[in-house]
Structure 1
């Protein structure tokens, strides 16, 4: 999205908001004026994804962008959004370890933020679909790419679940003291997020290869 001053400013604005969101979620202060900044970071991350969607749909398009379908834009935005969510989870993973994690206010706040991110992304996904409804229909190429990318996401999900099952089933009990029900529940959420992340990445790559 280049070549138009307003669009360029909007793009950098979205990048700035996304950067501020990730800083608040992962590296920012634990409290600001006595409040957890995590929810604000979450709101800014969703806002940056919505801003990217707005720029894609309503900004003037150059000749090269006409080849990019709504499915590819959804994959690009979804990959960036989910990558931020996964990075946030991994950065805070240590909060979920230990016997007292379930009673930790910080750990509960991170878990709550992740659930809200998932809900926000589901709502945003529906909004993206409605934005393009009746304008550009998916064709056989889009459906085939979605099918192939779905296999990658499903594969990551299956591998993650098998990995957890093998770890829990074949490890001695004294080596599983880290595996509290609270941590395991959140690891399952992480596996689900990694599956989505891989599916979005595969979708973007398939579209890119198709245009070559």
Structure 2
């Protein structure tokens, strides 16, 4: 069987394994940090897919997808993984000080590296379409609509969080340490970015149907 046909399923399986390691409840396996291993597997899978795509010539199907849509789908995938990982690890931020929590520091490092990998990957993928128009009026209109959805999502989540903290009795807010509240606000921004990219990707896809 042509190895090229097996490459994509293998990379998808590896990415799924890496994501599972990031989200797994166990902190370590045989003394190794699962989060760090999962992050490495996920990023290497993405780079492997990028390398394979880079070596192939542009197909007719690929040419129908604008560079802006490709970037939106990549952003959606990476932000979905980052949000899922952040939510699965939120319990580590229930600490009076991040300096006293190595687990929280590790989660923060993994998230930063995941977002850096997304930025670098998006920039590198853009070079594949360097000879094409990167953005037209249609792309800008979709970007404005997606930004609107993102603003509504961020506003709604901030209102919900403010109401929750404002009306809850003090004895039920033991979970709301300062690091937890700060990271909840970071999560709100991340979800807003996910909505932005997701809405843009879906709108592009619907326009092509």
TM-score (norm 2): 0.84
For the aligned residues, what is the CA RMSD? 2.6
Give the ranges of 4+ consecutive aligned residues of structure 1 lying more than 6 Å apart after TM superposition.
Answer: none
Task: Please give the alpha-carbon distance, in whole angstroms, between the structure 1 residues aligned to 2:48 and 2:154.
Answer: 29
Alignment of 1:1-212 (within 5 A): 5=2, 7-27=4-24, 29-97=26-94, 99=96, 103-212=100-209
Number of residue equivalences: 209
User: Unpaired segments of 5 or more residues in structure 1?
Assistant: none
- The offset of 1:62, in angstroms, is 4.0
- The offset of 1:47, in angstroms, is 2.8
TM-score (norm 1): 0.83
Equivalent position SS for 2:32: coil
- The offset of 1:46, in angstroms, is 2.4
Task: Please give the alpha-carbon distance, in whole angstroms, between the structure 1 residues aligned to 2:115 and 2:53.
Answer: 22
User: Unpaired segments of 5 or more residues in structure 2?
Assistant: none
Moved more, 155-164 or 93-102: 93-102
Q: Deviations over 1:90-149 (max 9, x none)?
A: 222222235577633223211221222223323333333344334333211111111111
Q: Deviations over 1:32-87 (max 9, x none)?
A: 45332322322322233334444445424443332111111111122111111111
User: Are the counterparts in 1 of residues 78 and 115 from structure 2 also a CA contact under 8 Å?
Assistant: no
User: Are the counterparts in 2 of residues 24 and 41 from structure 1 also a CA contact under 8 Å?
Assistant: yes
User: Are the counterparts in 2 of residues 111 and 186 from structure 1 also a CA contact under 8 Å?
Assistant: no
Equivalent position SS for 1:178: coil
Task: Please give the alpha-carbon distance, in whole angstroms, between the structure 1 residues aligned to 2:192 and 2:15.
Answer: 22
- The offset of 1:198, in angstroms, is 0.9
Equivalent position SS for 2:28: coil
Moved more, 131-140 or 151-160: 131-140
Task: Please give the alpha-carbon distance, in whole angstroms, between the structure 2 residues aligned to 1:203 and 1:13.
Answer: 28
Task: Please give the alpha-carbon distance, in whole angstroms, between the structure 1 residues aligned to 2:165 and 2:31.
Answer: 39
